[in-house]
Amino acid sequence: MRAAADGLPVGLSNGDFSSPKVASGYGGAATDWRGAGETYSPEMAQRADGKQATDLNGGSPNTMTQELSSVKKGEKVFVTWEDSPNTWSGCTPAQTVDAGQPYQMGFGEKLRDYTTKRAPEAKKSNWQKRQLVLTADQDAPTLTFKSLETRASAACGPMLAVVTASYEPASLWLDNRSDVAHAKKNSDGKPGQRWRYPSVAVFNEGGPATPQKVTVTAPAEMTFSRSTLTMWRDGEKDAGGGEHTISCERSEDKKKLTCDDVDLGVNQPPRWSVLYPEMAINSNATPGKKVAVKFTVGDPVIESENAPVNIL
C-alpha cells in the first residue's frame, strides 16, 4: 500500500501577496515577484479569507515570475493558486462579465493556457481554485504567470491569489519482507530472551518526505527494552548510511514507543530505510505462538505494517 505524505514547501516567497500591505484600493507591485502588477487590498480582492491579491496587468499585460532556487532538474513541483476576473471599476464588461480573462502559467517558456471564470456582475470577483504538477527541466526553474489580457482597459488583468508550491508529495509504504527488512537482525526468540529486533522497511516512490510521527506497539508477549528506535540505511555513514538512533517516548508499561518528527531517511537514493526497536520476549510467553509488532507512520496514520515474531 502506498500512502501520500505532505510535500515539502519549495521556498516560494510572498505567495499570498501580503507584501506590500495595502489598506484600501490598490498599491505597489508584489514583493519578491518580478514583473508583478499592482497589489489589491482585501476589500478590492473580495476574498472570503480576507487576503490580498495581485492584478496580473497593472498598467499593461505583465509576466510575473519567481525563481524556485531549491528545486533541481527533474523534480516535480505541486503548484496551487486561485484566479478571478478583476474587480477594478475601470474594467469593461467585455473583459470580466461577458468572458473570462486569459493568462498562462508554468515553468519558464513552457506555459499552459488558463481563463478566469466570468464575473457575476461588474466589479465582482469569482475566485476559482487551480492546481498543476510541473516538472523542472533545469535547476532553479522560474515559476511564471503571463497575462494574455490585451483588451481595453489594458490596466485590467486577471487577479491571482494564494500561490503555493511544494515538492511532489511523498509516496510512502512499509514492508516486512526479510530480504529488505535488515535480515542481519533477529526478531524470533524464546521466552525470556532479550535483544530481539522486529523490523519494517520504509520505501518512498514520490517526492521528498516530511518528518513523520512513528509509533511502535508491542504485543502482549513483548516489551521495549529502550526508549529509542534505530534506523538503518544502506550506504556510508557520512552519506547518511549505517545505523542512526532516534529518541522516542516509551510508555510506562513498556508497550509503546512514540517517536515525533522522524526523518525517515528516504529522500535520497536508495530511498528506503529500515526501522527496528530493541525488545524482549516475556518469560511467560507461550512457545509456538506467532505475534506481531505494529509500526505506524504519520499523524493521522498514513501507513502501517506488522513485523512478525515467532515465539520459539
Q: What is the pLDDT of residue 181?
A: 52
Q: What is the pLDDT of residue 1?
A: 46
What whole-number distance in Å separates Cα of residue 82 and Cα of residue 98?
A: 20
Q: What is the pLDDT of residue 18?
A: 98
Q: What is the pLDDT of residue 170?
A: 79
Mean pLDDT by 10 residues, the chain (312 residues): 66 96 97 96 98 95 96 89 98 96 96 98 98 93 97 95 89 79 73 95 84 96 97 74 92 98 84 93 97 94 93 96
Q: What is the Cα 179 distance to its own chain's centre?
A: 30
Scan for cell 486569459, then name that residue: 102
Q: Per the confidence metrics, is the pTM higher than 0.85?
A: no
Scan for cell 508497550, then name that residue: 255
Domain limits, the chain: 3-167, 170-310
Instruction: Fold for 170-310, please state it.
Output: Immunoglobulin-like (2.60.40)
The CATH code of the domain at 3-167 is 2.60.120.260
What whole-number distance in Å separates Cα of residue 224 and Cα of residue 255?
A: 6
Task: Give one DSSP letter per residue of 51-113, joined into a string.
Answer: --EEES-TTS--EEEEE-TT--TT-EEEEEEEEE----TT--HHHHTSS--EEEEEETTEEEE
Cβ atoms of 134 and 228 closer than 8 Å: no
User: b or e along 214-235 (b: 16 or more beta carbons within 10 Å of the residue's beta carbon)?
Assistant: bbbbbbebbbbeeeebbbbbbe
